[in-house]
Amino acid sequence: MPPRAIDRLFLTHLHYDHCVDYGYLVLNRWDQGSGEISELEVCGPPPIAEMTEKLFGDGGVYDPDLDARTRHEGSEFIYEMRGGVLPRKRPKPAVTEVVHGETIEGGDWSVQVAEVIHVQPHLTCLAYRLNTRYQSIVFGGDTAPIQSLNDLADGADVLIHMCHFINGFVTDPRITGCCSGHLDAARTARDANVRTLVLTHITEQLEGPGIRERVVHEAGEIFEGNIIFGEDLLEVPLGDFEPAQIQ
């Protein structure tokens, strides 16, 4: 999927590893869309509106780039060749700051918002539940165990949950109070009665030989549903799993 095909973005919090591609998504959609597609719609916690202005506003981080792309004759030529009509306007993402308890309606879908616990008060951290007439998917963001996530994920088809460390091996409350391990994720999935748990936000601690198998096995002793160990570019099925045939 090309970046310009993404028309709506939900940000859980503003740690760089969760928003570093924000600028690229906005600019690629704006540049390659050549005025023929809508601006990117963005939902996230405060201060995403301020951050957006500092990136794309006058005098912002991307001001020299935008100045060149909207005023240089070579850029104007490329824009017109792509189907654009001069004068070229700068990108203006449609930003909505959201908080705990809100619901965003999208026609045949909705997204519920819940605040979770991570690095407050420095950053507000959110989880999202996407509801459709077919399935529901919860993205827990970065969080330690918290009832608000259990409530948000209640009965969901898929829960994508942080798995930052191995419970029992890491015990320092400075990290266990703001992040989740494999058993934390399993307990949340069990208590929320979800169908499938996807473990993400994997660190080097979980990459050693046999560790993945241990993590899935121990999580499976708590949560009886499907468990998936997340990987880049992984596609997660939303329905029932069919075991592969042994050849």
DSSP string of 183-205? HHHHHHHHHHT-SEEEEES--GG
| Residue 243: predicted pLDDT | 67
* Distance (Å, whole) CA 54 – CA 89: 17
Residue among 111, 125, 161, 141 nearest 45 (CA)? 125
Do both 128 and 183 map to the same domain? yes
Among 47, 76, 97, where does a domain finish? 97
- Regarding whether 160 and 88 lie in a shared domain, the answer is no
Q: For the chain, what is the domain count?
A: 2
Query: Any alpha helices (H) in the chain, and if so which ranges?
Result: 16-19, 22-33, 48-56, 63-71, 73-81, 147-152, 173-176, 182-192, 211-220
Q: Tell whether 123 and 219 lie within a shared domain.
A: yes
Domain match, 131 and 76 both = no
**Same structural domain for residues 155 and 216?**
yes
Residue range(s) defining the domain that contains residue 202: 103-229
**How many other C-beta atoms are found inside a 10 Å radius of the C-beta of residue 86?**
10
Domain check: are 166 and 118 in the same one? yes
Does a structural domain hold residue 240? no
Predicted TM-score (pTM) of the model is 0.93
Do 91 and 141 lie in one domain? The reply is no
**Which residue, of 55, 73, 97, is where some domain finishes?**
97
Same domain, 114 and 66: no
CA end-to-end distance (rounded Å), the chain: 33
Q: For residue 91, is the peptide bond before it cis, meaning its omega torsion is within 30 degrees of 0? A: no
Tell me, what's the pLDDT at 247? Answer: 66
Query: Of the residues 97, 118, 140, which one is the last residue of a structural domain?
Result: 97
> What pLDDT is stored for residue 107 in this prediction?
86
Peptide bond preceding 87: is omega within 30 degrees of 0, i.e. cis? yes
- Element counts in the chain: helices (H) and strands (E): 9, 10
Looking at the fold, whether 42 and 122 belong to one and the same domain comes out as: no
Flag whether 244 is in a domain. Answer: no
User: Do residue 153 and residue 40 come from a single domain?
Assistant: no
- Residues 143 and 150: their CA atoms lie apart, in Å, by 12
Identify whether the C-beta of residue 55 lies closer than 8 Å to the C-beta of residue 61.
yes
Q: What's the pLDDT score for residue 48? A: 98
How high is the mean pLDDT in each 10-residue block of the chain (247 residues)? 90 97 96 91 98 97 97 96 94 97 95 98 98 95 98 98 96 97 98 97 90 96 96 81 69
Task: Indicate whether 80 and 116 sit together in one domain.
Answer: no
The residues, ordered by sequence, that sit 6+ positions from 168 with a Cβ below 8 Å of its Cβ are 181, 183
Alpha-carbon Rg for the chain in angstroms: 21
